[in-house]
A and B are shown apart, each in its own frame.
Chain A
Protein backbone atom coordinates (compact mmCIF):
# COMPACT_ATOMS: atom_id res chain seq x y z
CA UNK A 1 0.00 0.00 0.00
CA UNK A 2 2.68 2.45 1.10
CA UNK A 3 6.38 2.03 0.65
CA UNK A 4 9.34 4.29 1.24
CA UNK A 5 12.57 3.59 -0.60
CA UNK A 6 15.65 5.43 0.64
CA UNK A 7 13.62 8.56 1.22
CA UNK A 8 15.34 11.72 2.38
CA UNK A 9 13.75 15.07 3.08
CA UNK A 10 15.72 18.24 3.60
CA UNK A 11 13.72 21.43 4.21
CA UNK A 12 14.82 24.71 2.71
CA UNK A 13 17.20 26.16 5.26
CA UNK A 14 19.09 22.94 5.70
CA UNK A 15 17.07 21.01 8.26
CA UNK A 16 17.43 17.32 7.46
CA UNK A 17 14.13 15.81 8.62
CA UNK A 18 14.61 12.37 7.09
CA UNK A 19 17.95 11.06 5.92
CA UNK A 20 17.37 7.52 4.63
CA UNK A 21 14.06 5.84 5.31
CA UNK A 22 12.92 2.54 3.83
CA UNK A 23 9.85 0.61 4.92
CA UNK A 24 6.68 -0.98 3.63
CA UNK A 25 3.15 -0.89 4.97
CA UNK A 26 0.68 -3.42 3.63
CA UNK A 27 -2.99 -2.72 3.02
CA UNK A 28 -5.03 -3.12 6.20
CA UNK A 29 -2.06 -2.73 8.52
CA UNK A 30 -2.03 -0.48 11.56
CA UNK A 31 1.37 1.04 12.21
CA UNK A 32 2.59 3.41 14.88
CA UNK A 33 5.48 5.73 14.15
CA UNK A 34 7.28 6.88 17.21
CA UNK A 35 10.40 8.71 18.19
CA UNK A 36 11.46 11.85 19.99
CA UNK A 37 10.31 15.28 18.85
CA UNK A 38 11.96 16.28 15.62
CA UNK A 39 12.73 12.70 14.67
CA UNK A 40 10.79 13.16 11.44
CA UNK A 41 7.43 11.58 12.32
CA UNK A 42 5.33 14.43 10.94
CA UNK A 43 7.50 14.75 7.85
CA UNK A 44 7.04 11.07 7.11
CA UNK A 45 3.26 11.42 7.17
CA UNK A 46 3.38 14.65 5.16
CA UNK A 47 5.33 12.92 2.41
CA UNK A 48 2.57 10.32 2.01
CA UNK A 49 -0.21 12.91 1.64
CA UNK A 50 2.09 15.04 -0.56
CA UNK A 51 2.01 17.93 1.85
CA UNK A 52 5.75 17.81 1.19
CA UNK A 53 7.75 16.25 -1.60
CA UNK A 54 10.77 14.03 -0.92
CA UNK A 55 14.22 15.44 -1.66
CA UNK A 56 15.54 12.01 -2.54
CA UNK A 57 14.18 8.49 -2.87
CA UNK A 58 10.70 7.27 -3.70
CA UNK A 59 7.41 7.28 -1.86
CA UNK A 60 5.04 4.77 -3.42
CA UNK A 61 1.32 4.85 -2.75
CA UNK A 62 -0.61 1.99 -4.29
CA UNK A 63 2.37 1.30 -6.54
CA UNK A 64 2.55 4.88 -7.80
CA UNK A 65 5.45 7.20 -7.13
CA UNK A 66 3.72 10.14 -5.47
CA UNK A 67 6.81 12.30 -5.77
CA UNK A 68 6.32 12.25 -9.54
CA UNK A 69 2.61 13.02 -9.38
CA UNK A 70 1.50 16.02 -11.45
CA UNK A 71 0.20 18.94 -9.42
CA UNK A 72 -3.32 18.56 -10.73
CA UNK A 73 -3.38 14.93 -9.61
CA UNK A 74 -2.54 15.78 -6.00
CA UNK A 75 -6.14 16.54 -4.92
CA UNK A 76 -7.25 13.12 -6.09
CA UNK A 77 -4.48 11.44 -4.11
CA UNK A 78 -5.46 13.36 -1.01
CA UNK A 79 -9.06 12.24 -1.33
CA UNK A 80 -7.81 8.68 -0.82
CA UNK A 81 -5.99 9.60 2.38
CA UNK A 82 -7.69 10.82 5.51
CA UNK A 83 -5.41 13.03 7.59
CA UNK A 84 -5.84 13.86 11.28
CA UNK A 85 -3.75 16.54 12.96
CA UNK A 86 -2.82 17.20 16.53
CA UNK A 87 -4.25 20.73 16.19
CA UNK A 88 -7.38 19.36 14.46
CA UNK A 89 -7.25 21.89 11.57
CA UNK A 90 -11.00 22.47 11.79
CA UNK A 91 -12.67 25.55 10.34
CA UNK A 92 -13.78 27.52 13.36
CA UNK A 93 -16.36 29.60 11.49
CA UNK A 94 -18.14 26.57 10.09
CA UNK A 95 -20.44 24.26 11.99
CA UNK A 96 -19.36 20.76 12.95
CA UNK A 97 -21.65 19.40 10.28
CA UNK A 98 -20.07 21.51 7.53
CA UNK A 99 -16.57 20.68 8.71
CA UNK A 100 -17.22 16.97 8.44
CA UNK A 101 -19.13 17.37 5.15
CA UNK A 102 -16.32 19.27 3.42
CA UNK A 103 -14.66 16.27 1.66
CA UNK A 104 -18.02 15.13 0.32
CA UNK A 105 -18.96 18.63 -0.84
CA UNK A 106 -15.68 18.70 -2.71
CA UNK A 107 -16.47 15.35 -4.30
CA UNK A 108 -19.85 16.76 -5.38
CA UNK A 109 -22.10 14.22 -3.70
CA UNK A 110 -25.87 14.83 -3.51
CA UNK A 111 -26.81 16.72 -0.38
CA UNK A 112 -29.11 13.99 0.92
CA UNK A 113 -26.25 11.51 0.83
CA UNK A 114 -23.85 13.99 2.42
CA UNK A 115 -26.33 14.52 5.22
CA UNK A 116 -26.80 10.81 5.76
CA UNK A 117 -23.09 10.06 5.81
CA UNK A 118 -22.15 13.02 7.99
CA UNK A 119 -24.79 12.02 10.53
CA UNK A 120 -23.54 8.44 10.45
CA UNK A 121 -19.93 9.57 10.95
CA UNK A 122 -20.83 11.93 13.78
CA UNK A 123 -22.86 9.16 15.37
CA UNK A 124 -19.82 6.86 15.26
CA UNK A 125 -17.69 9.39 17.13
CA UNK A 126 -20.54 10.20 19.51
CA UNK A 127 -21.07 13.80 18.40
CA UNK A 128 -24.41 13.62 16.64
CA UNK A 129 -25.96 16.10 19.05
CA UNK A 130 -23.14 18.60 18.40
CA UNK A 131 -23.54 18.93 14.63
CA UNK A 132 -24.88 22.49 14.83
CA UNK A 133 -22.11 23.77 17.11
CA UNK A 134 -18.94 25.51 16.06
CA UNK A 135 -15.61 23.77 16.80
CA UNK A 136 -14.43 26.33 19.41
CA UNK A 137 -17.47 25.40 21.53
CA UNK A 138 -16.22 21.83 21.81
CA UNK A 139 -13.62 20.32 24.12
CA UNK A 140 -10.23 19.21 22.79
CA UNK A 141 -11.27 15.56 22.67
CA UNK A 142 -14.50 16.41 20.88
CA UNK A 143 -12.64 18.52 18.33
CA UNK A 144 -10.27 15.65 17.70
CA UNK A 145 -13.25 13.37 17.11
CA UNK A 146 -14.68 15.88 14.61
CA UNK A 147 -11.29 15.74 12.87
CA UNK A 148 -11.51 11.95 12.76
CA UNK A 149 -15.05 12.09 11.36
CA UNK A 150 -13.84 14.45 8.63
CA UNK A 151 -10.88 12.21 7.81
CA UNK A 152 -12.98 9.08 7.40
CA UNK A 153 -16.11 10.53 5.82
CA UNK A 154 -14.75 9.98 2.31
CA UNK A 155 -14.03 6.31 3.18
CA UNK A 156 -10.35 6.58 2.33
CA UNK A 157 -8.31 3.34 2.20
CA UNK A 158 -5.58 5.03 4.25
CA UNK A 159 -5.81 7.20 7.37
CA UNK A 160 -2.84 9.14 8.70
CA UNK A 161 -2.89 10.65 12.18
CA UNK A 162 -0.22 13.02 13.48
CA UNK A 163 -0.14 12.97 17.31
CA UNK A 164 -3.92 12.52 17.54
CA UNK A 165 -3.76 12.20 21.31
CA UNK A 166 -1.09 14.80 21.88
CA UNK A 167 -3.20 17.17 23.93
CA UNK A 168 -5.54 14.70 25.58
CA UNK A 169 -5.56 13.06 28.98
CA UNK A 170 -4.92 9.28 29.14
CA UNK A 171 -8.59 8.33 29.31
CA UNK A 172 -9.51 10.35 26.21
CA UNK A 173 -6.36 9.14 24.46
CA UNK A 174 -7.41 5.53 24.91
CA UNK A 175 -10.85 6.38 23.61
CA UNK A 176 -9.43 8.03 20.49
CA UNK A 177 -7.09 5.10 19.89
CA UNK A 178 -10.06 2.83 20.15
CA UNK A 179 -11.64 4.62 17.20
CA UNK A 180 -8.54 3.94 15.16
CA UNK A 181 -8.55 0.28 16.15
CA UNK A 182 -12.14 -0.11 15.05
CA UNK A 183 -11.38 1.76 11.84
CA UNK A 184 -8.47 -0.61 11.17
CA UNK A 185 -10.71 -3.59 11.78
CA UNK A 186 -12.76 -2.60 8.72
CA UNK A 187 -9.63 -2.92 6.57
CA UNK A 188 -8.46 0.69 6.54
CA UNK A 189 -4.68 1.12 6.62
CA UNK A 190 -3.83 3.34 9.60
CA UNK A 191 -0.56 5.15 10.30
CA UNK A 192 -0.30 6.99 13.58
CA UNK A 193 2.59 9.17 14.67
CA UNK A 194 2.69 9.30 18.43
CA UNK A 195 5.14 9.52 21.29
CA UNK A 196 2.71 8.03 23.79
CA UNK A 197 4.87 4.92 24.20
CA UNK A 198 2.82 3.37 26.98
CA UNK A 199 -0.40 3.52 24.98
CA UNK A 200 1.33 2.21 21.87
CA UNK A 201 2.81 -0.72 23.75
CA UNK A 202 -0.59 -1.68 25.13
CA UNK A 203 -2.07 -1.85 21.63
CA UNK A 204 0.50 -4.43 20.44
CA UNK A 205 0.62 -3.15 16.86
CA UNK A 206 3.58 -2.72 14.55
CA UNK A 207 5.83 0.14 15.62
CA UNK A 208 8.41 2.03 13.57
CA UNK A 209 10.89 3.92 15.69
CA UNK A 210 12.47 6.97 14.13
CA UNK A 211 15.58 8.74 15.33
CA UNK A 212 17.62 11.40 13.57
CA UNK A 213 15.73 10.87 10.35
CA UNK A 214 16.23 7.14 10.21
CA UNK A 215 14.28 4.06 11.22
CA UNK A 216 16.15 2.49 14.08
CA UNK A 217 13.63 -0.18 14.96
CA UNK A 218 10.71 -1.95 13.27
CA UNK A 219 8.81 -3.97 15.85
CA UNK A 220 6.16 -6.23 14.31
CA UNK A 221 2.68 -6.59 15.74
CA UNK A 222 2.40 -9.07 18.52
CA UNK A 223 -0.08 -11.84 17.92
CA UNK A 224 -3.49 -10.50 18.72
CA UNK A 225 -6.34 -9.47 16.52
CA UNK A 226 -4.30 -9.99 13.40
CA UNK A 227 -7.34 -11.01 11.45
CA UNK A 228 -7.83 -7.60 9.93
CA UNK A 229 -4.31 -7.33 8.56
CA UNK A 230 -3.83 -8.36 4.97
CA UNK A 231 -7.53 -8.60 4.35
CA UNK A 232 -7.58 -5.57 2.08
CA UNK A 233 -10.04 -2.68 2.18
CA UNK A 234 -13.74 -3.28 2.20
CA UNK A 235 -15.80 -2.26 -0.74
CA UNK A 236 -16.62 1.43 -0.28
CA UNK A 237 -20.35 0.98 -0.05
CA UNK A 238 -20.33 -2.17 1.96
CA UNK A 239 -21.75 -1.87 5.40
CA UNK A 240 -21.52 1.10 7.67
CA UNK A 241 -18.75 3.63 7.95
CA UNK A 242 -16.18 1.30 9.39
Chain B
Protein backbone atom coordinates (compact mmCIF):
# COMPACT_ATOMS: atom_id res chain seq x y z
CA UNK B 1 0.00 0.00 0.00
CA UNK B 2 2.82 2.37 0.74
CA UNK B 3 3.85 4.25 -2.31
CA UNK B 4 6.85 6.45 -2.28
CA UNK B 5 5.62 9.74 -3.54
CA UNK B 6 8.29 11.45 -5.45
CA UNK B 7 7.21 15.02 -5.49
CA UNK B 8 8.83 17.99 -6.97
CA UNK B 9 7.68 20.07 -4.01
CA UNK B 10 10.07 18.13 -1.82
CA UNK B 11 7.82 18.74 1.15
CA UNK B 12 6.25 15.32 1.13
CA UNK B 13 8.08 13.06 3.52
CA UNK B 14 10.22 10.67 1.55
CA UNK B 15 12.25 7.68 2.61
CA UNK B 16 10.80 4.37 3.75
CA UNK B 17 10.39 4.88 7.46
CA UNK B 18 9.05 8.42 7.29
CA UNK B 19 6.65 7.38 4.53
CA UNK B 20 5.31 4.57 6.69
CA UNK B 21 4.91 6.99 9.59
CA UNK B 22 3.03 9.49 7.42
CA UNK B 23 0.94 6.68 6.01
CA UNK B 24 0.00 5.43 9.47
CA UNK B 25 -0.81 8.98 10.59
CA UNK B 26 -3.16 9.39 7.64
CA UNK B 27 -4.76 6.08 8.60
CA UNK B 28 -5.12 7.21 12.19
CA UNK B 29 -6.79 10.37 10.96
CA UNK B 30 -9.25 8.40 8.83
CA UNK B 31 -9.92 5.99 11.66
CA UNK B 32 -10.62 8.75 14.16
CA UNK B 33 -12.70 10.75 11.74
CA UNK B 34 -14.84 7.68 10.96
CA UNK B 35 -15.40 7.06 14.67
CA UNK B 36 -16.15 10.75 15.08
CA UNK B 37 -18.83 10.57 12.40
CA UNK B 38 -20.48 7.65 14.19
CA UNK B 39 -20.31 9.46 17.52
CA UNK B 40 -21.67 12.72 16.09
CA UNK B 41 -24.87 11.02 14.94
CA UNK B 42 -25.63 8.73 17.87
CA UNK B 43 -29.28 8.08 17.04
CA UNK B 44 -28.74 7.23 13.40
CA UNK B 45 -25.72 5.09 14.29
CA UNK B 46 -27.64 3.27 17.02
CA UNK B 47 -30.44 2.44 14.63
CA UNK B 48 -28.00 1.07 12.09
CA UNK B 49 -26.28 -0.98 14.78
CA UNK B 50 -29.67 -2.26 15.95
CA UNK B 51 -30.74 -3.38 12.48
CA UNK B 52 -27.40 -5.13 11.99
CA UNK B 53 -27.51 -6.76 15.42
CA UNK B 54 -30.99 -8.19 14.88
CA UNK B 55 -30.13 -9.39 11.40
CA UNK B 56 -27.02 -11.16 12.66
CA UNK B 57 -28.57 -12.44 15.90
CA UNK B 58 -31.14 -14.48 13.96
CA UNK B 59 -28.79 -17.02 12.32
CA UNK B 60 -26.55 -17.04 15.40
CA UNK B 61 -29.50 -17.84 17.68
CA UNK B 62 -30.70 -20.57 15.32
CA UNK B 63 -27.24 -22.05 15.26
CA UNK B 64 -27.06 -22.08 19.05
CA UNK B 65 -30.52 -23.62 19.31
CA UNK B 66 -29.50 -26.29 16.85
CA UNK B 67 -26.32 -27.27 18.65
CA UNK B 68 -28.30 -27.56 21.88
CA UNK B 69 -30.99 -29.72 20.28
CA UNK B 70 -28.29 -31.94 18.81
CA UNK B 71 -26.73 -32.39 22.21
CA UNK B 72 -30.07 -33.17 23.82
CA UNK B 73 -30.65 -35.70 21.06
CA UNK B 74 -27.51 -37.51 22.14
CA UNK B 75 -28.90 -37.83 25.63
CA UNK B 76 -32.17 -39.13 24.32
CA UNK B 77 -30.40 -41.67 22.18
CA UNK B 78 -28.57 -43.03 25.16
CA UNK B 79 -31.77 -43.39 27.16
CA UNK B 80 -33.07 -45.71 24.53
CA UNK B 81 -32.00 -49.32 24.53
CA UNK B 82 -31.45 -51.84 21.83
CA UNK B 83 -33.20 -55.17 22.16
CA UNK B 84 -30.96 -57.97 20.96
CA UNK B 85 -32.91 -61.19 20.37
CA UNK B 86 -30.75 -64.29 20.58
CA UNK B 87 -31.46 -67.56 18.83
CA UNK B 88 -33.84 -69.80 20.77
CA UNK B 89 -31.22 -72.51 21.12
CA UNK B 90 -28.86 -70.27 23.06
CA UNK B 91 -28.70 -71.40 26.69
CA UNK B 92 -28.08 -69.56 29.93
CA UNK B 93 -24.30 -70.15 30.11
CA UNK B 94 -23.85 -68.88 26.57
CA UNK B 95 -25.93 -65.81 27.44
CA UNK B 96 -23.70 -65.02 30.41
CA UNK B 97 -20.63 -65.40 28.25
CA UNK B 98 -22.00 -63.23 25.46
CA UNK B 99 -23.27 -60.49 27.74
CA UNK B 100 -19.99 -60.21 29.62
CA UNK B 101 -18.17 -60.02 26.29
CA UNK B 102 -20.52 -57.39 24.89
CA UNK B 103 -20.25 -55.27 28.01
CA UNK B 104 -16.53 -54.81 27.28
CA UNK B 105 -17.32 -53.01 24.00
CA UNK B 106 -16.66 -49.30 24.26
CA UNK B 107 -19.87 -48.49 22.44
CA UNK B 108 -21.93 -50.29 25.06
CA UNK B 109 -22.58 -48.94 28.52
CA UNK B 110 -24.56 -51.83 30.01
CA UNK B 111 -25.98 -55.21 29.07
CA UNK B 112 -29.04 -56.49 30.83
CA UNK B 113 -30.06 -60.09 30.00
CA UNK B 114 -33.76 -60.96 30.15
CA UNK B 115 -34.62 -64.63 30.45
CA UNK B 116 -37.50 -66.21 28.51
CA UNK B 117 -39.41 -66.54 31.83
CA UNK B 118 -39.04 -62.86 32.65
CA UNK B 119 -40.02 -62.01 29.11
CA UNK B 120 -43.11 -64.17 29.30
CA UNK B 121 -44.29 -62.65 32.56
CA UNK B 122 -43.73 -59.11 31.27
CA UNK B 123 -45.57 -59.98 28.11
CA UNK B 124 -48.50 -61.58 29.93
CA UNK B 125 -48.73 -58.56 32.20
CA UNK B 126 -48.77 -56.24 29.25
CA UNK B 127 -51.36 -58.32 27.40
CA UNK B 128 -53.44 -58.78 30.54
CA UNK B 129 -53.18 -62.54 30.32
CA UNK B 130 -52.92 -64.29 33.62
CA UNK B 131 -50.67 -67.27 33.70
CA UNK B 132 -49.97 -67.17 30.02
CA UNK B 133 -46.85 -69.15 30.72
CA UNK B 134 -48.98 -71.94 32.12
CA UNK B 135 -51.12 -72.04 29.03
CA UNK B 136 -48.12 -72.75 26.87
CA UNK B 137 -46.40 -76.01 27.46
CA UNK B 138 -43.15 -74.62 26.12
CA UNK B 139 -41.84 -71.02 26.41
CA UNK B 140 -41.30 -69.86 22.80
CA UNK B 141 -39.39 -66.72 23.80
CA UNK B 142 -35.63 -66.47 23.34
CA UNK B 143 -33.15 -64.79 25.66
CA UNK B 144 -33.06 -61.05 25.06
CA UNK B 145 -30.19 -58.67 25.86
CA UNK B 146 -31.23 -55.16 26.67
CA UNK B 147 -28.29 -53.01 25.64
CA UNK B 148 -27.72 -49.43 26.75
CA UNK B 149 -25.34 -47.77 24.35
CA UNK B 150 -22.60 -45.44 25.50
CA UNK B 151 -22.83 -41.68 24.80
CA UNK B 152 -21.95 -40.80 21.26
CA UNK B 153 -22.24 -44.35 19.93
CA UNK B 154 -22.37 -44.93 16.21
CA UNK B 155 -25.76 -46.51 15.70
CA UNK B 156 -25.04 -48.17 12.38
CA UNK B 157 -21.68 -49.68 13.25
CA UNK B 158 -22.98 -50.97 16.59
CA UNK B 159 -25.96 -52.59 14.86
CA UNK B 160 -23.76 -54.19 12.27
CA UNK B 161 -21.40 -55.57 14.90
CA UNK B 162 -24.26 -56.98 16.95
CA UNK B 163 -25.90 -58.57 13.97
CA UNK B 164 -22.63 -60.18 13.02
CA UNK B 165 -22.63 -62.10 16.30
CA UNK B 166 -23.43 -65.79 15.74
CA UNK B 167 -25.84 -66.03 18.66
CA UNK B 168 -27.83 -62.97 17.64
CA UNK B 169 -31.04 -63.51 15.77
CA UNK B 170 -32.35 -59.96 15.37
CA UNK B 171 -31.73 -56.53 16.79
CA UNK B 172 -34.73 -54.33 17.30
CA UNK B 173 -34.23 -50.61 17.50
CA UNK B 174 -37.06 -48.23 17.93
CA UNK B 175 -35.08 -45.20 17.06
CA UNK B 176 -36.98 -44.05 14.03
CA UNK B 177 -38.03 -40.83 15.72
CA UNK B 178 -34.38 -40.19 16.45
CA UNK B 179 -33.62 -40.59 12.79
CA UNK B 180 -36.36 -38.07 12.10
CA UNK B 181 -34.80 -35.73 14.62
CA UNK B 182 -31.45 -36.15 12.91
CA UNK B 183 -33.01 -35.43 9.54
CA UNK B 184 -34.76 -32.40 10.99
CA UNK B 185 -31.61 -30.97 12.49
CA UNK B 186 -29.97 -31.55 9.13
CA UNK B 187 -32.69 -29.49 7.44
CA UNK B 188 -32.39 -26.82 10.11
CA UNK B 189 -28.62 -26.59 9.87
CA UNK B 190 -28.95 -26.17 6.11
CA UNK B 191 -31.48 -23.43 6.83
CA UNK B 192 -29.04 -21.76 9.21
CA UNK B 193 -26.36 -21.75 6.53
CA UNK B 194 -28.77 -20.28 3.99
CA UNK B 195 -29.89 -17.61 6.44
CA UNK B 196 -26.30 -16.81 7.28
CA UNK B 197 -25.49 -16.24 3.61
CA UNK B 198 -28.63 -14.14 3.03
CA UNK B 199 -28.08 -12.03 6.11
CA UNK B 200 -24.39 -11.56 5.35
CA UNK B 201 -25.46 -10.08 2.03
CA UNK B 202 -28.09 -8.12 3.94
CA UNK B 203 -25.37 -6.70 6.18
CA UNK B 204 -23.41 -5.58 3.12
CA UNK B 205 -26.53 -3.93 1.67
CA UNK B 206 -27.57 -2.24 4.93
CA UNK B 207 -24.08 -0.88 5.52
CA UNK B 208 -23.67 0.08 1.88
CA UNK B 209 -26.90 2.06 2.01
CA UNK B 210 -25.94 3.77 5.25
CA UNK B 211 -22.59 4.77 3.76
CA UNK B 212 -24.32 5.95 0.60
CA UNK B 213 -26.49 8.34 2.61
CA UNK B 214 -23.46 9.47 4.53
CA UNK B 215 -21.57 10.21 1.31
CA UNK B 216 -24.49 12.26 0.04
CA UNK B 217 -24.57 14.25 3.27
CA UNK B 218 -20.87 14.86 3.08
CA UNK B 219 -20.44 15.54 -0.62
CA UNK B 220 -19.35 19.09 0.19
CA UNK B 221 -16.70 17.81 2.54
CA UNK B 222 -15.51 15.37 -0.10
CA UNK B 223 -15.17 18.19 -2.63
CA UNK B 224 -13.24 20.35 -0.19
CA UNK B 225 -10.92 17.48 0.66
CA UNK B 226 -10.24 16.89 -3.03
CA UNK B 227 -9.66 20.60 -3.41
CA UNK B 228 -6.92 20.75 -0.81
CA UNK B 229 -5.12 17.78 -2.30
CA UNK B 230 -6.61 14.64 -0.77
CA UNK B 231 -6.03 11.52 -2.84
CA UNK B 232 -9.08 9.40 -3.75
CA UNK B 233 -7.74 6.73 -1.38
CA UNK B 234 -7.66 9.24 1.47
CA UNK B 235 -11.21 10.34 0.74
CA UNK B 236 -12.40 6.76 0.52
CA UNK B 237 -10.72 5.56 3.69
CA UNK B 238 -12.98 7.02 6.42
CA UNK B 239 -16.00 5.48 4.70
CA UNK B 240 -14.32 2.09 4.50
CA UNK B 241 -13.43 2.29 8.17
CA UNK B 242 -17.02 3.20 8.90
CA UNK B 243 -18.28 0.12 7.06
CA UNK B 244 -15.86 -1.96 9.08
CA UNK B 245 -17.01 -0.40 12.37
CA UNK B 246 -20.66 -0.90 11.53
CA UNK B 247 -20.01 -4.55 10.73
CA UNK B 248 -17.83 -5.28 13.75
CA UNK B 249 -20.04 -3.49 16.25
CA UNK B 250 -23.19 -5.02 14.74
CA UNK B 251 -21.59 -8.45 15.08
CA UNK B 252 -20.62 -7.87 18.71
CA UNK B 253 -24.12 -6.59 19.51
CA UNK B 254 -25.64 -9.68 17.89
CA UNK B 255 -23.48 -11.84 20.10
CA UNK B 256 -24.56 -9.86 23.18
CA UNK B 257 -28.22 -10.31 22.20
CA UNK B 258 -27.78 -14.07 21.89
CA UNK B 259 -25.77 -14.22 25.12
CA UNK B 260 -28.56 -12.37 26.93
CA UNK B 261 -31.15 -14.78 25.51
CA UNK B 262 -29.04 -17.74 26.63
CA UNK B 263 -28.79 -16.26 30.10
CA UNK B 264 -32.56 -15.91 30.28
CA UNK B 265 -33.09 -19.50 29.10
CA UNK B 266 -30.41 -21.10 31.21
CA UNK B 267 -32.42 -21.80 34.36
CA UNK B 268 -35.48 -23.38 32.64
CA UNK B 269 -33.12 -25.42 30.53
CA UNK B 270 -31.33 -26.75 33.59
CA UNK B 271 -34.69 -27.75 35.03
CA UNK B 272 -35.45 -29.57 31.79
CA UNK B 273 -32.15 -31.41 31.72
CA UNK B 274 -32.53 -32.43 35.35
CA UNK B 275 -35.47 -34.56 34.24
CA UNK B 276 -32.96 -36.47 32.16
CA UNK B 277 -30.73 -36.83 35.21
CA UNK B 278 -28.35 -34.33 33.66
CA UNK B 279 -27.45 -30.92 34.95
CA UNK B 280 -25.78 -29.46 31.91
CA UNK B 281 -26.48 -25.83 31.09
CA UNK B 282 -27.03 -24.47 27.60
CA UNK B 283 -24.19 -24.66 25.14
CA UNK B 284 -22.95 -21.21 24.22
CA UNK B 285 -21.71 -20.44 20.74
CA UNK B 286 -18.07 -21.43 20.30
CA UNK B 287 -15.31 -18.89 19.86
CA UNK B 288 -14.86 -19.94 16.26
CA UNK B 289 -18.52 -19.15 15.55
CA UNK B 290 -18.30 -15.80 17.33
CA UNK B 291 -15.14 -14.92 15.43
CA UNK B 292 -16.92 -15.92 12.23
CA UNK B 293 -19.97 -13.77 13.00
CA UNK B 294 -18.05 -10.68 14.12
CA UNK B 295 -15.27 -10.99 11.55
CA UNK B 296 -17.62 -11.93 8.74
CA UNK B 297 -19.93 -9.05 9.50
CA UNK B 298 -16.97 -6.67 9.57
CA UNK B 299 -15.77 -8.04 6.25
CA UNK B 300 -19.18 -7.71 4.62
CA UNK B 301 -19.50 -4.19 6.01
CA UNK B 302 -16.19 -3.37 4.39
CA UNK B 303 -17.27 -4.93 1.10
CA UNK B 304 -20.59 -3.08 1.18
CA UNK B 305 -18.98 0.30 1.77
CA UNK B 306 -16.23 -0.43 -0.76
CA UNK B 307 -18.77 -1.00 -3.52
CA UNK B 308 -20.78 2.12 -2.67
CA UNK B 309 -17.84 4.45 -2.07
CA UNK B 310 -16.11 3.49 -5.30
CA UNK B 311 -19.25 4.06 -7.31
CA UNK B 312 -20.16 7.35 -5.63
CA UNK B 313 -16.73 8.92 -5.70
CA UNK B 314 -16.62 8.25 -9.42
CA UNK B 315 -19.96 10.03 -9.74
CA UNK B 316 -18.93 13.06 -7.68
CA UNK B 317 -15.66 13.07 -9.64
CA UNK B 318 -13.70 15.52 -7.50
Chain A positions near chain B (C-beta within 8 angstroms): 49, 51, 62, 72, 75-80, 83, 89-91, 93, 102-103, 105-111, 150, 154-155, 157, 236
Contact between B23 and A108, CB atoms less than 8 A apart: yes
A77 to B25, CA, bound (A): 21
Report whether A79 and B229 are in contact in the complex, using a CB–CB cutoff of 8 Å.
Answer: yes
With beta carbons under 8 angstroms apart, the residue of A72, A83, A102, A109 that contacts B231 is A72
Q: How far is the CA of A2 from the CA of B232 in the complex (A)?
A: 26
**What B residues does A80 contact at CB under 8 A?**
8-9
Stretch at the interface among B10-18, B52-60, B178-186: B10-18
How would you classify the secondary structure of chain A's contact residues: helix, strand, loop or mixed?
loop
Q: Are B25 and A110 interface neighbours, CB within 8 A? A: yes
Q: For the complex, what is the distance from the CA of A51 to the CA of B223, rounded to whole Å?
A: 10
Count of residues in B whose CB is under 8 Å from the partner chain: 28
Give me the interface of B with A, judged by CB distance under 8 Å.
5, 7-13, 21-23, 25-26, 29, 40, 220-221, 223-232, 234
Residues of A within 8 A of B11 (CB): 79, 107, 154-155, 236
A110 to B220 CA separation, bound complex (whole angstroms): 26
Shortest distance from the beta carbon of A231 to any chain B beta carbon, whole Å: 18
How far does the alpha carbon of A15 sit from the alpha carbon of B221 in the complex, in Å? 28
| Other contacts beyond A105-B26, A236-B9: 15, CB < 8 A | A62-B8, A72-B231, A75-B230, A75-B234, A76-B7, A76-B12, A79-B9, A91-B220, A102-B228, A105-B29, A106-B231, A108-B23, A155-B11, A157-B9, A236-B10
Report chain A residues within 8 Å CB of B13.
108
Docked CA distance A103–B9 (Å):
14
Q: Which 8 A-B pairs have the closest CB atoms?
A: A108-B22, A79-B229, A78-B229, A108-B26, A108-B25, A75-B231, A103-B228, A106-B230
B8 near A75: Cβ-Cβ < 8 Å: no
